[in-house]
Amino acid sequence: MRGSLVPVYRSRPSPLHTARAAASAGLCASLALVCAVYEHPLVLAAVLAAVVGAGLAAGVGREIARAAWLAVPLALLVTLINPLVYAEGETLLVRGATLLGHRFDITLEALAAGGLAGLRLGAFTMVFGLASACVDPDELLRLFRRVSYRSALTASLATRLVPVLARDAMRMGDAARCRAEPPGRLAVTRAAVSGALDRAVDVAAALEVRGYSAGGRPERDRRPWSRHDLRAGAGAVLVLVAAVAGRIAGAGTVTEYPGLDIALGPAELALAACVLLGAALPFAGRATRLGVARV
């Protein structure tokens, strides 16, 4: 979808695209796990670098840049809001005014905590962007259909409807400009939303006549694992194991309050290196040059 901040999957001859969805989605999921478990700036920076590097190597740099347009404002927002909400911390930067009995002081620790939370959210958004651009949603949903058939199909319908509804809304906006008296945005939005219901009913009817209610589950994917599958899978396992082991070993601890304390040692460096290595693994060796067919 042109102009959307959420990257859209397009088949490309890159190792990450060519790898089976289970492997490439596994790699993205393990990177997301690192974002969820760690708040350490070095580790999060490694995730960001891994995402950007993998995106560039997979030929989806433009999509990653688009995801950054979403991630950076989100991160900044969290960074700026946190010191206004939390006045804890020992290092006072700005003594604020008192409003409704609450004094708005800004501390270095609260600002740093906000920055780390923003970095984490930004890294998470970028990982999501990488997954959206590189993992075939159909193949992924096929995997989930084996687990939860109806939920996965509903999800696939929703993903299918998003670009359709975006196009509908764009067309309705144009039609509104063509009216002698253009209506308000609210009226157009309301019409677009109610139109979505009609669209959903049409798609549901199409699903019914395709035998949806027969409810068969797809067979397990028995394709042999290609070198791209193996490399992406190995990258996912490496990042996952490093994240879990690091957590058990107590690596990457960050204490924001009352004083800022960020641990930095061999464990953190090793964890960051594993994240980078894991993301680089799918691109190790000879690159796929021809075609987009699954190997």
Partner 1 sequence: MSEALVCAERFSYAYPERAQPGLCDVSLELAEGSFTVLAGASGSGKSTLIRALCGLVPHFHGGDVSGELSVGGMSVREHGPGELAAVCGTVFQEPETQVVMGGVRAELSLPVEHRGHSAAAVARSVEEVALALGVAHLLERRTDTLSGGELQRVAIAAALVHRPALLLLDEPTSQLDPVAGDELIWLLRRLNEEWGTAVVIAEHRLERCLPAADRVVALEAGSVVCDNAPADFLSWAAAAGGALATPVARLFSLAGLGPLPVSVKAARDRLRDAGLAPAASSPADLEAQPERQGSSARMAPEERRPPSIFSRRPRAQPALELRGVWHEIEDGPQVLRGVDLRIDPGERVALMGRNGAGKSTLLRHLKGLADPTRGRLETAGPVALLLQNPGDYLIHEHVGEETGTRGLAAAGLSERAGASPRDLSGGERQRLALEVALGDGPGGREGEVSPLDRLGGCQGGVPPLDRHYAAVCLDEPTRGMDRASRTALAERIAALARSGAAVVMATHDTEFAAEFADRVVLMGEGVVIADGTPSEVLGGGWHFSTDVARTLAGAGGALTPEAGARMLTRELIS
Whole-Å CA distances, 105 to 78, 88, 92, 108: 17, 9, 7, 10
Dist. CA 211–CA 157, nearest whole Å: 15
Least Å distance, CB 283 to partner 1, is 22
Binding footprint of partner 1 on the chain (CB under 8 A): 1, 8-11, 136-139, 141-142, 145, 156-157, 159-160, 163-164, 168, 171-172, 174-181, 183, 187-188, 190-191, 195, 198-199, 202-219, 221-222, 292-293
Question: In which residue are the tokens 């690192």 written?
Answer: 34
Residue 175 vs 287, nearer CB to partner 1 = 175
Q: From the CB of 230, what's the least distance to partner 1, in Å? A: 20
The nearer residue to partner 1, 96 or 195, going by C-beta atoms, is 195
Who's near 259: CB < 8 A, 6+ residues apart?
89, 90, 91, 109
Q: How far apart are CA 146 and CA 21, in angstroms?
A: 14
CB of 108 to partner 1, least distance (A): 46
Q: Which is nearer to partner 1, 8 or 269 (CB)?
A: 8
CB nearer partner 1, residue 138 or residue 261: 138
Which token pair is 292?
């987009």
Nearest approach, Cβ of 58 to partner 1 (angstroms)?
A: 16
Nearer to partner 1, 8 or 84 (CB): 8
CA-wise closest residue to 285 among 226, 228, 234, 223: 228
